[in-house]
Chain A
Amino acid sequence: MIYLKRLLLLLIVFPLLSGCWDQNLIVDQEVMNGISFDLKDDKVKSTIVVLNIIPKGSGVFDFNNQITSATGHSLEETTEELRMYYTGPLTASKSRIVLFGEDFAKKDLESYLDLIYRVPDPYLGSKVAIVEGVEASKLFSLEEIGTDPIAFGLYEIIDAAEKNSTIPKGTLNTLFTFFNEKGKDFILPILKQKGENIMVSGAGLISENAYSGESIPLNDCPLLLLLMDDYGHLVNLNSYIDKKKKLNNQVSYKITKVKRKMKVNETPHKKPEVDLKLNLEVSLTQYPGTEKLTTKRIKELEKVITKDLNKRSKKIITATQKANSDVLGIGRTIKETDPSAWQSYDWRTTYPHIEIKTAVDVKIVNTGTIK
């Protein structure tokens, strides 16, 4: 009798445990790996890459990208059309990369991307980038980067640039945080197609959640990240030894220690003044000379590098002010330390005109494995 009871119980329990309503088998789903948005004739053009993996036996796989586009007035409208191209339900739960065309990036991104944050399905660890020069969807048609499928390759390219301190760490998730942060703007990587290859070509300055059109060139990016206090594992910089830009005339160095101090001073005429001090300890990685580096020569080099970095940081700050992109988070610092002053500013109109003094100081602590 007791066995019969248990058997009956099991029969009731089994259908309950299998979760029949919400089964989403990965084999049935069409997983989009890459998504791009462009603006075309006042409409959004969404392009997606769905990766089909074709097993070829004995652990070897081949892959095939299915790329489709749709246009519409909103993201959801385009998704509805895109669904019609695929053999199963579309899901963004494993997307690797989200690309914005230049025109699309100049719109208020937060309001366009609302869908991604509202629905619990999309994966927020995707990397985000702006594509310059060509339509964002064009990049997908390259099919692969090296041996990686395109979407994975783009992810890796951006990941590598983050490690090299060209751009700060960023995903769709951090973007959502930045969108809603008052008094601080952010940076997005800019991708460029060169022949059959794709490269990160700089850092795009974002102002009011839209791309300002201004960008910081590649060789100044690490310095910008140092100023922002948001750098990665490796920070490498170059400077010309004397003023002439000639062949083999650059000293290169790796930053080993950073001390950054930002101070916001109130002035009576409602315009804050900012003092940004950056103390760097560097280790030489390249010196175009055959002589042994003497203490005196090192002191001279320190002076050269310090002067160069000071000049360049001034240029960077001017660029951010021109783009009205407060990437240093000066507004946020004021908001946190002096809330009443923050209330009195209209930060968007104030930021381009405030005075930001940068002072970089460089000390060479190491000359590498040779003197």
Chain B
Amino acid sequence: MLTNKNLFFLIIQAQIGIGILTLPYVLYNKVQQDAWISLLIAGALSQVVIVILVSLSKVSLKENLYELSSKLLGRFLGNALNICYVLYFITYSMLLLFLVSDVIITWILHRTPQWAIILLILLAASYIAKEHLLTISKSFLVFSLLFAFLIVTIFFVYVQDVHFGRLLPFASKEPLQIVSSSPQAFVSLIGFELILFIMPFIKKPAESLKVLSIANGFTLSLYLFLLITCIVYFSADQFKLVNEPLLYMLRGLSFKYIERIDIIFLSFWIIPITTSLVTQLFTASLGVQNLFSIGRSKSVYIIVGVLFILGMLPISNFIKESLSSLMTYLNIIFIFFIPTLLLIIAKLKVYKG
């Protein structure tokens, strides 16, 4: 059974991932120095979604979403929804793999073929994902120690030439523009949808809302810190040029004995990215297990096989880009709209029955 501590680390590791590498770039191009306001709005939005998700999973504490959906929607519709969810998780994992392997190829391993990187990440992720949830959360706890080291590294940026005036003028963009770019930030904060699938494993379900809110608060403050560091570090037009601001920021740092912190940072940042993949694999395999009644570790291997084959496909940048923009909508549909709908149906059923 998961204690509150286990749950906390599961959620933050599911949340923190590849999103933050490109998020500053995406947000800055839309609302410049007001990017952090968009992120704050997205944080509030995810808090609302967390409340919805927790109340949905509290409808039946003994069942995960895959079991609950057939109960609420009937066998046929429920299964159809479950298939959609599994496909969503697989697509999400595939996009994540493409993005992370792209970053690694551009920054560190220029000549390594993409399939090799994807294979290595999949091997590591499946090794953890096939285990019991408690084992997963314990390994996540160990990985979380890394954050302390990575955050300290970022603090060294402030030794360099930062200019806090770059945060000014305050809130000068159109409010509508700021709000409309917050979905982009919201997408980088997701990961808490995991709660829909792990409620039966939690020791104290009553406290899950509190734990999830704290986890969300942690992720949000970490992202805010990183985003604001990027804003005060880069000059306006420069920010619009660099794809991965977080890494570029570290590229210029140098100490007497260590240089090229960016590469070291990226090597370590692969771990939180992989843990996000692990949670995706976990939820997807739970769905496969439910749909086809095969063992969970076997379903992990099946999904990993599918992902590896997909990863070998020659996919152009254009498709990747359209896939990522499509993913923004898919995330919002699968994490916000469908759970809300299910919650309404559940409440109506209780009301009727």
Instruction: Verify if B260 is at the interface (C-beta below 8 Å from A).
Output: yes
Instruction: Verify if B110 is at the interface (C-beta below 8 Å from A).
Output: yes
- Measured between beta carbons, the chain A residues less than 8 angstroms from B112 are 19, 21-22
- Measured between beta carbons, the chain B residues less than 8 angstroms from A178 are 235
Cα separation A94 to B259 with both chains bound (whole Å): 9
Cα separation A3 to B112 with both chains bound (whole Å): 31
**Chain B proximity mask over A27-56: 1 for CB below 8 Å, otherwise 0:** 000000000000000000000000000000
- Measured between beta carbons, the chain A residues less than 8 angstroms from B168 are 336-337
Instruction: Verify if A171 is at the interface (C-beta below 8 Å from B).
Output: yes
Instruction: Verify if B1 is at the interface (C-beta below 8 Å from A).
Output: no
Complex contact B251–A173 (CB within 8 A):
yes
Shortest distance between the CB of B253 and any CB in chain A (Å): 8
Instruction: Verify if B241 is at the interface (C-beta below 8 Å from A).
Output: yes
Instruction: Verify if A58 is at the interface (C-beta below 8 Å from B).
Output: no
Contact of A177 among B107, B113, B119, B238 (CB under 8 A): B238
B260-278 contacts to A, CB under 8 A, are 260
Instruction: Verify if A123 is at the interface (C-beta below 8 Å from B).
Output: yes
Instruction: Verify if B109 is at the interface (C-beta below 8 Å from A).
Output: yes
Contact of B165 among A16, A123, A333, A339 (CB under 8 A): A333
Complex contact B165–A22 (CB within 8 A):
no
- Measured between beta carbons, the chain B residues less than 8 angstroms from A93 are 260
B110-147 contacts to A, CB under 8 A, are 110-113, 116, 119-120
**Contacts A171-B252, A177-B238, A180-B235: A123 and B260 contacting too (C-beta < 8 A)?**
yes
- Measured between beta carbons, the chain A residues less than 8 angstroms from B119 are 16
Instruction: Verify if B234 is at the interface (C-beta below 8 Å from A).
Output: yes
In this complex, which of A21, A174, A337, A339 has the most chain B Cβ atoms within 10 angstroms of its Cβ? Answer: A21
Instruction: Verify if B153 is at the interface (C-beta below 8 Å from A).
Output: no
Cα separation A339 to B259 with both chains bound (whole Å): 38
Complex contact A124–B251 (CB within 8 A):
yes
**Contacts A125-B254, A332-B165, A339-B172: A177 and B106 contacting too (C-beta < 8 A)?**
no
Contact of B238 among A16, A180, A332, A337 (CB under 8 A): A180
Complex contact B110–A22 (CB within 8 A):
yes
Contact of A336 among B110, B165, B252 (CB under 8 A): B165
**Contacts A120-B106, A120-B107: A180 and B252 contacting too (C-beta < 8 A)?**
no
Shortest distance between the CB of B158 and any CB in chain A (Å): 14
Instruction: Verify if A169 is at the interface (C-beta below 8 Å from B).
Output: yes
Cα separation A205 to B172 with both chains bound (whole Å): 32
Cα separation A21 to B116 with both chains bound (whole Å): 10
Instruction: Verify if A181 is at the interface (C-beta below 8 Å from B).
Output: yes
Cα separation A171 to B161 with both chains bound (whole Å): 11
Cα separation A365 to B84 with both chains bound (whole Å): 75
- Measured between beta carbons, the chain B residues less than 8 angstroms from A181 are 235-238
- Measured between beta carbons, the chain B residues less than 8 angstroms from A169 are 161
A152-172 contacts to B, CB under 8 A, are 169, 171-172
**Contacts A177-B238, A336-B169: A19 and B252 contacting too (C-beta < 8 A)?**
no
In this complex, what residue of B is CB-closest to A17?
Answer: B120
Instruction: Verify if A176 is at the interface (C-beta below 8 Å from B).
Output: yes
- Measured between beta carbons, the chain A residues less than 8 angstroms from B254 are 123, 125, 171
Cα separation A178 to B237 with both chains bound (whole Å): 10
Shortest distance between the CB of B168 and any CB in chain A (Å): 4
- Measured between beta carbons, the chain A residues less than 8 angstroms from B107 are 120
- Measured between beta carbons, the chain B residues less than 8 angstroms from A174 are 160-161, 252
**Contacts A174-B161, A180-B237, A181-B237: A21 and B252 contacting too (C-beta < 8 A)?**
no
Complex contact B116–A180 (CB within 8 A):
no
Complex contact A182–B236 (CB within 8 A):
yes
Instruction: Verify if A179 is at the interface (C-beta below 8 Å from B).
Output: yes
- Measured between beta carbons, the chain B residues less than 8 angstroms from A332 are 165
Cα separation A22 to B267 with both chains bound (whole Å): 14
Shortest distance between the CB of B232 and any CB in chain A (Å): 11
Cα separation A72 to B106 with both chains bound (whole Å): 27
Complex contact B160–A21 (CB within 8 A):
no
In this complex, which of B160, B166, B169, B252 has the most chain A Cβ atoms within 10 angstroms of its Cβ? Answer: B252
Instruction: Verify if B108 is at the interface (C-beta below 8 Å from A).
Output: yes
Cα separation A172 to B253 with both chains bound (whole Å): 11
In this complex, what residue of B is CB-closest to A125?
Answer: B254
**Contacts A125-B252, A171-B252: A21 and B111 contacting too (C-beta < 8 A)?**
yes
In this complex, what residue of A is CB-closest to B105?
Answer: A22
- Measured between beta carbons, the chain A residues less than 8 angstroms from B260 are 93, 123
Complex contact A339–B252 (CB within 8 A):
no
In this complex, what residue of A is CB-closest to B159?
Answer: A169
**Contacts A22-B112, A125-B252, A178-B235: A16 and B120 contacting too (C-beta < 8 A)?**
yes
**Contacts A125-B252, A333-B165: A179 and B238 contacting too (C-beta < 8 A)?**
yes
In this complex, which of A181, A182, A337 has the most chain B Cβ atoms within 10 angstroms of its Cβ? Answer: A181
Shortest distance between the CB of A95 and any CB in chain B (Å): 11
Q: List 26 A–B pairs whose Cβ atoms lie within 8 Å, in order of A's numbering.
A: A19-B109, A19-B112, A21-B116, A22-B108, A22-B109, A22-B110, A22-B111, A22-B112, A123-B259, A124-B252, A125-B252, A125-B254, A171-B254, A173-B160, A173-B252, A176-B238, A177-B235, A179-B235, A179-B238, A180-B237, A180-B239, A181-B235, A181-B236, A336-B166, A336-B169, A337-B169
Beyond A124-B251, A172-B252, A180-B241, 18 extra complex contacts between A and B, CB < 8 Å: A19-B109, A21-B109, A21-B113, A22-B108, A22-B109, A94-B259, A120-B251, A123-B254, A125-B253, A171-B254, A173-B160, A174-B252, A178-B235, A179-B238, A181-B237, A182-B237, A336-B168, A339-B172
Among all A-B residue pairs, the 8 with the closest Cβ atoms: A173-B252, A180-B237, A181-B235, A125-B254, A180-B238, A336-B168, A21-B112, A124-B252
